[in-house]
Structures are given as structure tokens and as C-alpha cells.
A = this chain, B = another copy of it.
Amino acid sequence: MSTAEETAGDEAQPWGEVTPDAARRLLVAAVEAFAERGYHATTTRDIAGRAGMSPAALYIHYRTKEELLHRISRIGHEKALEVLRTAAGSEGTATERLAEAVRSFVRWHAGQHTVARVVQYELDALGPDARAEIVALRRRNDATVREIIEEGVAAGEFDVPDVRGTTLAVLSLCIDVARWFNAAGARTPDEVGALYADLVLRMVGAQK
């Protein structure tokens, strides 16, 4: 469960590009409310109240509650894709790039676990158009990881009988960090990232 303090710290980060300030504060408040009570139990009045604004002020920036969820989901997926693509496009072997992709994707899901939970668990609440857009972003995430694995197989670095299935499992493993990660727990995001990079290199049979 996120607290106002966490939201101000870790959770504020992905919304840097959202302007004006009031629109950004409403997104942060919506993430917090959706994470605590679920999308359907949250009203636009709740969100405006958490942001210290009136419902009328909310409607200047977002026409509906769904628009808030859509915006959160789009930014969340775009940031995750950016993290993966940066790793995929870096210098180095497929082994090095896959390890870096896993480390950074895990760090993102651990650091932004409240945002990631909302994005993952409330996907069914989006209308058909918004959902189609998000599904397309998710396919690009998949493709980014799949391409690194395919390159590793082609280069003889990896041994992967089922590339699609293994890609799915690698992404699933990293995404689920958002479910169990606890900032007060035994492992830091960096430590989980390092452990998971090692486990994923084993999954793809990377040469040591």
C-alpha cells in the first residue's frame, strides 16, 4: 500500500513530463487511490480530494476516470519500453544486453511497484481503444526482449528451444517483482536486478 510519502519520492518520478503541475498531481493521486482501493471503488471526487483539488478542477485536465487510468497506463508502459530499448540498443554481446535489460526492467518494477501494479492489474478496466493502444505497447516490449534472445541464439551465445515462450517467461518474471517487492524488505532493487539477470542468463543457456 503506497503512502503519501512514498508517492512523493519513488512514485513521482515517471510523471516528470506531465504538465501543468495540477495534471501531474492528479495522476499521482490517482495511482495512489487505484492502488489502495482499486479502480472501480475510486471516484474522481476521491482523486481530486487526494490532490487537494475540487472535482471541477479535475475535469479541466481529465474528462473521465478512465482517461486518468489510460494516461497512467500509457506513461507506465512507455517508460518500461524506454528502459528495455535503452538496454537492447546498448553496446555489447546479446548476453550483456539481455543482462542489462533484465537489471533495468527489474529496477523499474521494484522502484515503481505501485504504478506497475495499477498498470498491470487494472488493464481490463480500459475501454477497447485505450486497451488496444496499451496492448500494442506491450507487444513492443515483448519484441524488444525477443530480438535480443534471437540475436543471442543466432550468435551461438544462447541455447533456447522455445524463444517465444522464454521471452514471455522472462518478462513475466520481471513484471511480477512489482507484486512482491517491498521497499522495507531484505533486497534492494539493484540486488533483485543482479539476481534476476543471473537467473535469466541461465534460462537462455548463456555460455559462461
Hey, which chain B residues are within 8 Å of A4, CB to CB?
none
Report Cα–Cα, A190/B5, bound state, in Å: 44
User: B179 touching A172 by the CB < 8 A rule?
Assistant: yes
Kindly identify, within residues 159 to 175 of chain A, every residue whose CB is under 8 Å from any CB belonging to chain B. Answer: 161-162, 165-166, 168-169, 172-173, 175
Report Cα–Cα, A120/B121, bound state, in Å.
11
Shortest CB-to-CB span from A70 to chain B, Å, is 18
Q: Could you tell me the distance between the alpha carbons of A173 and B169 in the complex, rounded to whole angstroms?
A: 7
Q: What is the total number of residues of chain A having a CB less than 8 Å from a CB of chain B? A: 33
Least distance between A113 CB and chain B CB atoms (Å):
13
Q: Is A37 an interface residue (CB 8 A)?
A: yes
A127 on the B face (CB < 8 A): no
Number of copies: 2
Alpha-carbon gap, A37 to B34, bound state (A): 12
Which residue, of A169, A196, A205, has the highest number of chain B Cβ atoms within 10 A? Answer: A169
Q: Is A199 an interface residue (CB 8 A)?
A: yes
Interface centre among A36, A187, A192, A199 (most CB of B within 10 A): A199
A202 within 8 A of B: yes
Shortest C-beta distance, A197 to chain B (Å), equals 11
Q: Which of B162, B179, B199 contacts A169 (CB 8 A)?
A: B199
Which B residues lie within 8 Å of A192 (CB)? 165
Interface-facing stretch out of A38-46, A51-59, A86-94: A38-46
Q: Does A17 contact B (CB under 8 A)?
A: no
- Which residues of B have CB within 8 Å of A183? none
Whether B195 pairs with A165 at a CB distance below 8 angstroms is: yes
CB-based closest 5 A-B pairs: A38-B38, A40-B41, A176-B176, A41-B41, A37-B40
Given pairs A121-B121, A121-B179, A172-B179, 6 additional interface contacts (CB within 8 A): A36-B124, A37-B41, A38-B40, A165-B195, A175-B176, A175-B179
Can you give 7 A-B contacts (C-beta < 8 A)? A1-B124, A120-B179, A121-B179, A166-B199, A168-B180, A172-B176, A199-B203
